[in-house]
Amino acid sequence: TQLLKTKLQMFDNHLSEFAQKKAEGNALFKLQKYSSAIAEYSSAIEILNLGEEHRKDLGVVYRNRALCQLRLYRYEQCIEDSNSSLKINPSDIKALYRRALSLKHLGLLKPAIDDVRRVLKIEPLNADALSLGESLNLETIKQDKEVCTTRGLISKVFSILSDNLVNDEEKEKASDKLFMLV
């Protein structure tokens, strides 16, 4: 029984230390000291490897650290922390949204749209997700237009270059346009 009491005391100490590190991370986040908050959240994550009953708390800390990474423009790290949170809770709206934002900033529009769709499936009236989805759709349309415009220009340049009726000066201009695209 003494061994059991000792183990329970150690367990309680770990939980207390975890709660303290998480609270310190939250306080630092509010002060916009994101790097320091990341350090506290990282300490909390190291402490809380206690089993299934505390995985939800661990997911929240990963999600909080992801937000700090996002605020520091560390998009890859935000995605990693969001992924860790989502392994624990696959329907974590905040983790999905933060990952979608990071993916958008990295130009990975398709996976970002997929995350927004997952958020809206869980919470159809989520204003942030609706706004991000609209922004992503507009960027996708813009990207598609740029691709079509570029393809059209390349096609036009090649038709000029291969046309025997076009004079050398026009062919040189077309060639210059093609060079600028590359």
First to last CA, the chain: 75
Is pLDDT larger for residue 159 or for residue 82? 82
**pLDDT number for residue 11:** 60
- Reported as a single tens digit per residue, the pLDDT across 1-37 is 666 666 566 666 778 888 899 999 999 999 999 999 9
In percent, how much of the chain has pLDDT > 70?
85
Distance CA 70, CA 136 (A): 18
Q: Give the predicted TM-score (pTM) of the model.
A: 0.74
135 pLDDT above the threshold of 90: yes
| Mean of pLDDT over the chain | 86
Task: At 90, list the tokens.
Answer: 């696959």
**pLDDT number for residue 17:** 87
Task: At 176, list the tokens.
Answer: 């210059």
Distance CA 25, CA 68 (A): 10
Distance CA 37, CA 29 (A): 6
Q: Are 65 and 83 in contact (CB under 8 A)?
A: no
Is pLDDT larger for residue 172 or for residue 89? 89
- Reported as a single tens digit per residue, the pLDDT across 43-85 is 998 887 655 567 888 999 999 999 999 999 999 999 999 999 9
**Closest by CA position to 119, among listed 101, 140, 139, 138:** 101
Mean pLDDT within 102-129: 96
Place of tokens 């809206």: 120
Q: What does the longest C-alpha to C-alpha distance in the chain come to? A: 99
